Chains A and B, each alone.
Chain A
Amino acid sequence: MSGTHTKAIGVETIGMTMRFGAFTALDDVSIKVPAGSFHALLGENGAGKSTLVKCMMGFYHPTSGDMLVDGRQVAIASPRDASALGLGMVYQHFTLVPSLTGAENLVISREKVPGVIDWRKERAALAQFMERMPFKLPLDVKVAELAAGEKQKLEIIKQLYLGRNFLVLDEPTSVLTPGEAQEVLGLVRGMTKAGDLTVLMISHKFHEVTAFADDITVLRKGRLTGTGKVSDLSHREMAAMMIGDQPIAALDSRAAPKPDAEIVLKVKALKAPDRTGLKSIDIADLGVRSGEIVGIAGISGNGQKEFLEVLAGQRARDQGEVMVRGSAYAATRAEARALNVRLIPEEPLKNACAPKMTVAENIAFRTFDVDGNGKPVSWISAGAIKAFSARLVEQFKVKTASLSSPIASLSGGNVQRAVLARELTGEVDLLIVSNPCFGLDFSAVAEIRARIMKARNAGAAVLLMSEDLDELLELSDRILVMSEGALVYETPIAQASVQTIGEHMAGHH
């Protein structure tokens, strides 16, 4: 219950080792997180970060190693033990129940809930609790109706409500807008400074780590490769600890845009219903020229997803026209093929793959039914599919056990590489991309961005929708802001300011 622990606690691991059979996921890792500090845990996917925190939280039983809480050795056999000691975890995906209200979520997650809940009393207690919190949130709204930032705040509040004063935050800002991320981390930072909370944050984002954390620990392949004060380390040093001496794909230099280049994608007066069916998206006028990247920024849920779905043919439009190189485009397979339109949607496993089909089949989706000259074939050759895919897997460095493994068995980065391989092979006149690097690690992100830039320089018109403003600023030639289903602001990259873009995203204009 709230109020049992009021002070932050310090946590230490000593020689934490975890083996799964012959595989060592975590090798002799000792970290020290003093009470009231904000500690960042860095590492690539598969570096052992989640294994470490799962050992700390009692989800795994470490092969060897000890835990100290406030300097005393403790045995944590289950998540229940961890929470009794005041250790809590906020997951990357939300663990709130969407159809319950915030208040219902908080009350039901408590250890002891009375058989019949006296809502009058609970509400009063919650209001009192919320007064002590820096976060302001509506608790009587269903969680499903909250914005991502609000959900993340509620997750943190839930842990505090349950009396947990050591929080593991697993990539807490991966689903937040820059503004939301700043706010949430700022408030958490304030609580650690006040000595109410200790935080261990798993993150990929260096700028967040630099802005908010006191110390970092870096893991690579299950081993501790570096630790130190954030103030003593540069981004370059952190990156070196994370990825070792492995090369990072460099972004192609930007070829100068030609202002008179052909307008490849033209969208006019497009209207389509949004996800709820209650509102609609309304794109008045949008043109994307060959050889430029047009970025669309916006807080998730402002119609970007629906816009992409219309362009991808996943959603019917009410009216308006979409033209590609002067001809009407309704996203049929034949049109996409004739006009060289390629698509990299978000959540590629869900939107761009058949998860249970093989890597080879997935990579051949665009080409399996045509021969070398683009003529339809009546007999599909498994050998040709394999040969084609093998070449692309090699070229795009897709790591897969075999070409006949189901694509769902690949890691997120490799699924995205496979989709890129399929979409960027051959001639590309229009490339539509949405959140291409969501949830991917450092080297995959760099590589994927480099590929998109390369496609632009080769003359493709690129429409890039992203919730990651850094990504848009890095790649785009122009940035448009989408808010409440409409494009409300446009700026060339040279004059782009995060401040102004953020204000338009939040709808303050």
Chain B
Amino acid sequence: METTDIGLWGVPLAMLGGAIRVSTPFIFVSLGEAITERSGRINLGLEGTLVFGAMSAYAVAVMTGSPWLGLLAAALAGLCFGLFHGWICKFPKVNDIAIGIALMLFGTGLAFFFGKPFIQPSAPDLPAIPFGNWSDIPQVQAALNVNVLFLIGAALAVFLWWAFRNTRVGLIVRVVGDSADAARAMGLNPNTVRLLATGVGGALAGIGGAYLSLYYPGSWTERISSGQGLMAVALVIFARWNPLGCFAAALLFGGAGALGPALQSVGVTQGYYLFYAAPYILTLIIMIATSSPSRTLAGAPGELSITK
């Protein structure tokens, strides 16, 4: 692609493009975690689910030649991980956070084991929609080349936000997450609801992983995830368990993550590594700024093991 020099305008433009590109896995993982946490459980294993999803998506796409089948495989694998977590956690005296950490390492390890043969071959990518064709500037075109999953993620965030208020399933998940006693009094089984919510959360995390291996960066390596699965859990808290907030937080996080590469692309050669840390610093700053020593977190589901 031929480059036109657009000077410093390249930075915000690259950040926009980067935000869209980098945020997609965060969107899926955080939406999945939002569903799980709204049901009253924390699944820290999503990092492992993400990596395993990335591997299985890539493997299936290589073998079948279809990225969509790969995506489906990742979702199924994620579902299995989620259900496994949910199933273990239904036993008394099992701590969801400890199980999550175990599953995170298990998922990553299993992905490396099965993924060895797929490091070399290349798989077909997921499609993107070029929204930037109206412009002649290649940077604009590159930034507005929006992948399908981002759009699905955005739609999903709006849908979940609506569904938590307006559907039976949404209300049931909130009831279970806020008061298991009330749920039981209604004849609901909190364990079943949480099992399913963790399963769905896992499936979404798997899709987030598929995005990593099938779109950006677009190949399977053992270093494919840089902690997106874990950061997404923090994003959910930061977004106060609100799906629209998750979407916004993921975009903000993605944009901050694109700062480093964007500065590099306009020729900043000194210290840009520092900007790679921008998303983490940003998260820390926001967390500190919005925290309060005398107030509990607003909007936290009452049944979460960290807020109980």
Binding site for B on A (CB under 8 A): 79-80, 91, 93, 95-100, 104, 107-109, 113-117, 119, 273, 275-277, 315-316
Contact = CB atoms under 8 A, between A and B. Distances in A.
A109 B186 contact: yes
Interface stretch (B86-94, B100-108, B177-185): B177-185
Nearest to B301: A99
A39 to B, nearest CB: 23
B36 to A, nearest CB: 16
A95 B179 contact: yes
B176 to A, nearest CB: 9
B182 A80 contact: no
B173 to A, nearest CB: 11
Main secondary structure of the interface of B (DSSP, over half): helix
Given A97-B178, A98-B302, A100-B174, A108 B168 contact: yes
B172 interface: yes
B168 A115 contact: yes
A99 B299 contact: yes
A97 B174 contact: yes
A120 to B, nearest CB: 11
Pick the most buried of A114, A277, A316: most chain B CB atoms within 10 A of its CB: A277
Given A80-B187, A277-B294, 15 more contacts: A79-B185, A96-B179, A96-B182, A97-B174, A97-B182, A98-B302, A99-B299, A100-B175, A108-B172, A108-B175, A108-B186, A114-B168, A115-B167, A119-B166, A277-B295
A490 B22 CA distance: 63
A91 B181 CA distance: 11
A295 B181 CA distance: 35
Contacts of A93: 181
B181 A95 contact: yes
B27 to A, nearest CB: 24
A115 B165 CA distance: 12
Contact of B179 (A98, A117, A316): A98
A79 B187 contact: yes
B151 interface: no
Contacts of A95: 179, 181-182, 185
A91 B185 CA distance: 10
Interface in B147-195: 165-169, 171-172, 174-175, 178-179, 181-182, 185-187
B108 to A, nearest CB: 34
A109 B185 CA distance: 9
Interface in B57-107: none
Contacts of B4: none
B294 A97 contact: no
Nearest to B299: A99
Which 3 pairs across A and B sit closest by C-beta, in order of nearness?
A: A277-B295, A108-B171, A113-B168
B273 to A, nearest CB: 39
A105 to B, nearest CB: 8
Given A97-B178, A108-B171, A117-B167, A277 B292 contact: yes
A238 to B, nearest CB: 31
B179 to A, nearest CB: 5
A275 B178 CA distance: 20
Contact of A98 (B167, B178, B186, B295): B178
